[in-house]
Structure 1
Amino acid sequence: MKMKKVLALGLIAMMSTAAFAGCGSSESSDGGSASTGDSASGQVYYLNFKPEADEAWQEIAAQYTEETGVPVTVITAASGTYEETLSSEIIKDEAPTLFQVNGPVGLANWKDYCYDLKGSSLYDELTSDSFALYDGDAVAGIAYVIESYGLIVNTELLDQAGYSLDDIASFDDLKKVAEDITARSGELGFSAFTSAGMDGSSDWRFKTHLANLPIYFEYQDKGIDSTDAIEGTYLDNYKAMWDLYINNATCDPSELAGKTGDDAENEFAEGQAVFYQNGSWEYKNLTDKGMTDDQLAMIPIYIGAGDEANQGLCTGTENYWCVNSEASEEDIQATIDFLTWMVTSEAGTQMLSENIGVIPFKNAADTTNLFVLNDRAYTEAGKTPVSWNFTTMPSEEWKNGVGSALTAYAAGTGSWDDVVSAFVDGWASEYAAANN
């Protein structure tokens, strides 16, 4: 049965259909065997979380279908709409057989739909059980990528401004450099930071990724890895960094509500700004736009907290594959077979390595992603990675509240006290609502 081509509102949809009917296995293009077990009678529908990797997923799905005859559909949720899209799609007759959650908080919403992957061929390929997401004794999800984020730097522009990477090893250093670039922006012809857009395609960089930093340092102080009530100990540091972003950028702070992720990416790629907060997943996008390794580097996001001399990049995962337990046995098997092929075949591992990042599987291809290599260099030098604690944020509503408050503050229509309230009071109320 062909999968129904259904699009939920807000989706960017593309379809990879079967080129021909297949048997149990076929020879892969890299000379290996693409075994499908019982999956020739099944199909795969992946609701993809990452818009930036949509094209790569479409291509690899088509290749797998050509090799095995197994239909693989990849539909990509628009940025910032994944949870609502999944809610819409999961109740359909032709629901996703494969989706993702961002960690324990996300799992709480979807655990009833998660097939136990413990002992599966996919689970057996993990390099460590620490990359399995447990629901009791069951493996409800499996991490498929380890990523890093920080400040991406145009090293050529930094050099033109009279600085090098060695000049930036703390928040005070960054502030000095950024404000000097702003003071000379007319002469230099570029700004310190790209736009900190608060459109839905971009706001996650600040209400989630930047917000991770004050959470991380508070957790470190308390020796915890989650909480029902955040105190906001480091929100002054959060404010200092946000002020630096919005007051030393390519646009006026009042314009941020309408600035998109594409705006920031293009500003950086076109040489309009030295610094761009984003992650290792941006490497291919930037190199596709003509940037080279000689022009690029990623440095830590310093906010004036902790041991900055020994701080590394923000490294972790919020990307866990989950197989829909409500799917047919044939589709479950087809989905597990497809994922196993993705993490064992030359084509699959290369696609993940080049477009997604470091994958925690035994047959992982090494990466040429400069930002991943930057993270590796920091770690090898003894720097401590900043862990991803935003997976403990109590809800999407909490993030949205913080994002709205940040936007109003930047526009001058709200105060920083509103941001603090959204962060601290919002955390307590959203945690209570999610756990009662």
Structure 2
Amino acid sequence: MSIRRMKKIGSGLLTAGLLLTLAACGNAADSGGESAGKGNGDVTEIDIFQFKVEFKDQFEALAKKYEEENEGIKINIETVGGGSDYGAALKSKFSSGNEPNIFNIGGPEDVTMWLDSLSDLSDTEAAKQALEGTLTGATKDGKVLGLPYNIEGYGVVYNKEIFAKAGIDATQIKTLDDLESAAKILEDKKAELGLEAPFALAAKELWITGLHSSNAFLNAEFDNDVMKAFESKTVEFKYGEQFKKYIDISNQYSVQPTNSLDYSQQMEQLFSNGKVAMTQQGNWVYSTIESINPELANDNIGLLPIPIDGVTEGTIPVGVPMYWGVNPKGTEAEIQASKDFLDYLYTTEEGKQIVLEDFKFVPAYKGFDTNKISDPLSKDVYTYYTEGKTTGWVFMGYPAGWGEQTVGAEIQKYVAEKATWEEVVEAAQKKWAEERK
């Protein structure tokens, strides 16, 4: 996920700040509450602008099915993600006057930014069925302003077959020292294992390091509370040395140069083809791996922790990658149709089956048969979640752009040996304080 690109963020996680374009509601001539929607006659159009590229085809298929079963509804979906900046694209969409009916927001920072463009969704059935804690990041003044996509988790995705050949017991990897020991073994045996390197650190992707990696080491500082991060005037980097250690391990044992590795190289060329044994990603990458190497995807992948030694050992970050927001500036018919569509997605038997089996989501709502979670990475996320071995997603509470444009960009300088770690931390602390004045 996002966040502004969760899969590449979104190809989940996470989810994290988790983007739908289907409504030109802002320029609807009858936005004063008439019952007619966009389009001709009695057809109500919903424009969705969303970020999650990895389920684009499945989502579009669901929309067509929904149209067939709901006469008078037309759904237009535009997906912007992967290598693109969804946040920037969303701003451009609104500034052009072509506002979507449904779009994505990433948490409290986005809620504040888009407050005037978000409807209160408290009366939806989906909001009533959301799991405890999943609405927190999109709730303000008692109003639910966003509905969670799903639950996503991330860590170090690893190749079970390669680990077995190298004699590494993945169940014993709980600390950074354990992770480093595994990397050293793989480095020593990479020729016989057919590896280019043990790891693939896609440092070119600012969200991977600046949002997800940083979150793993800042979550404990903010007590796993996204609102605490959002309200904080400063950032300490209390566990900054462990963050440094994790980046050093990932970079030292990676295919080089890491600043040139993007998502496509990381997942499609290297990991999915068995050229590396480990890479930081989340359960959202399953579909990418499966499309390239079904045997690997279904039988030989799992998630390792990204721990703070002595604090969050054996855990992975789990959270909501993004929320669905509904634009209040559309017609009455468009607003209601948007709410109905989201309720269909998460609260009807048909919708829930598609969410589980086609989207491969870990649901953020009650009433799902979680035994039907099918892919191994999502199963791992759900196991970590149910066993209480998770930390939060506080990156949704970072100052806007701070994670990617400051932390991620500074880490690029660090791995290129153009900045010290102390300079990385200092720059990040300074920018956070400036943004929170």
What TM-score comes out, normalization by structure 1 length? Answer: 0.83
3-state DSSP class of the match of 1:71?
strand
**Cα deviation 1:216-256 (Å, max 9, x = unaligned):** 1222399983221011111111111111111101x22xx22
Question: What is residue 137 of structure 1 aligned with on the other side?
Answer: 142
- Cα RMSD over matched residues? 2.8
Cα shift readout 1:337-388 (whole Å, capped 9, x = no counterpart): 111111133442233224252222344353213223223333444x431111
Structure 2 vs 1, CA of residues 51 and 344 (structure 1 numbering), >3 Å: closer, same or farther? same
Displacement after TM superposition at 1:129 (Å): 7.2
Inter-partner Cα distance in structure 1 for 2:57 and 2:225: 42
Structure showing greater relative contact order (alpha-carbon pairs closer than 8 Å, 6 or more residues apart): 2
**Separation in structure 2 between the aligned mates of residue 137 and residue 223 of structure 1, nearest angstrom:** 16
> What is the rounded CA distance, in whole Å, between the counterparts of 1:273 and 1:286 in structure 2?
13
Q: 1:317 to 1:193 in 2, by over 3 A?
A: farther
Q: Structure 2 vs 1, CA of residues 175 and 303 (structure 1 numbering), >3 Å: closer, same or farther? A: farther
Query: Structure 1 residue aligned with 2:242, among 232, 237, 242?
Result: 237
Separation (CA, whole Å) in 2 of partners of 1:206 and 1:344: 35
Deviation at 1:274, TM superposition (A): 1.1
Q: Secondary structure at the match of 1:314?
A: strand
For 1:87 and 1:281, locate their aligned partners in 2 and report how far apart those are by CA, in whole Å. 25
Question: Quick check: 324-333 or 293-302, which moved more?
Answer: 293-302
Match of 2:319 among 316, 319, 338: 316
Q: In structure 2, what is the Cα distance between the partners aligned to 1:364 and 1:223? A: 26
The answer (yes or no) to whether the contact 2:286–2:297 under 8 Å persists in 1 is no
State which of 256, 273, 298 in structure 1 corresponds to 2:258.
256
Supply the AA of the counterpart residue of 1:244.
I
Structure 1 partner of 2:92: 88
Cα distance in 2 between the residues matched to 1:306 and 1:145 = 27
Residue 185 to residue 321, structure 1, CA distance change in 2 (3 Å)? same
TM-score, with normalisation over the residues of structure 2? 0.83
Is contact 1:113-1:326 (8 Å) kept? yes
Question: 1:297-308 residue pairs with structure 2 within 5 A?
Answer: 297-308=302-313
Aligned residue for 1:90, secondary structure, equals helix
DSSP-derived class of the 2:307 partner: coil
Which of 126, 133, 136 is residue 130 of structure 2 equivalent to?
Answer: 126
Indicate which of 382, 385, 406 corresponds to 1:376.
Answer: 382
Q: CA deviation at 1:324?
A: 0.3
Tell me how far apart the structure 2 counterparts of residues 47 and 386 of structure 1 sit (CA, whole Å). 29
**For the structure 1 residues 224 and 118, does the alpha-carbon distance in structure 2 shift closer, same or farther, using more than 3 Å as the test?**
closer
- 1:34-45 alignment to 2 at 5 Å? 41-45=43-47
Alignment of 1:256-275 (within 5 A): 256-266=258-268, 267-275=270-278
Which ranges in structure 1 are unaligned for 5 or more consecutive residues?
1-12, 17-36
Change beyond 3 A, Cα 1:307–1:48:
closer
- Residue 352 of structure 2 aligns with an amino acid whose one-letter code is T
What pairs with 1:63-74 in structure 2 (closer than 5 Å)?
A: 63-69=65-71, 70-74=73-77
Unaligned runs of 5+ in 2: 1-18, 23-34
8 A contact 2:54–2:287 mirrored in 1: no
Closer, same or farther: CA 405–270 of 1 in aligned 2, 3 Å = same
Q: Are the aligned partners of 1:41 and 1:330 in contact in 2 as well (CA < 8 Å)?
A: no
Report the residue type matching 1:299 in the other structure.
Answer: L
Q: Name the amino acid aligned to 1:418.
A: E
**Other structure's SS at 2:222 match:** helix
SS of structure 2 residue aligned to 1:47: strand
Residues 191, 248 of structure 1: 8 Å contact kept: no
Q: For 2:20 and 2:322, locate their aligned partners in 1 and report how far apart those are by CA, in whole Å.
A: 21
1:404 to 395, 405, 409: 409
Aligned counterpart, 1:326:
329
Q: Is the 8 A contact 1:357 1:369 kept in 2?
A: no
Shift of 1:142: 1.6
* Equivalent-residue separation in structure 1 for 2:89 and 2:273 (angstroms): 33
Query: Could you tell me how far apart the structure 1 residues matched to 2:312 and 2:340 are?
Result: 45
* Distance verdict in 2 for CA 1:124–1:277, change over 3 Å: same
Distance (whole Å) between structure 2 residues aligned to residue 257 and residue 373 of structure 1: 31
Task: Name the CA distance, whole Å, in 1 between partners of 2:436 and 2:338.
Answer: 33
Query: Which of 388, 391, 400 is matched with 2:393 structurally?
Result: 388
Secondary structure of 1:315's counterpart equals strand
* Structure 1 stretch displaced more, 69-78 or 148-157: 69-78
Which of 293, 298, 301 is equivalent to 2:298?
Answer: 293
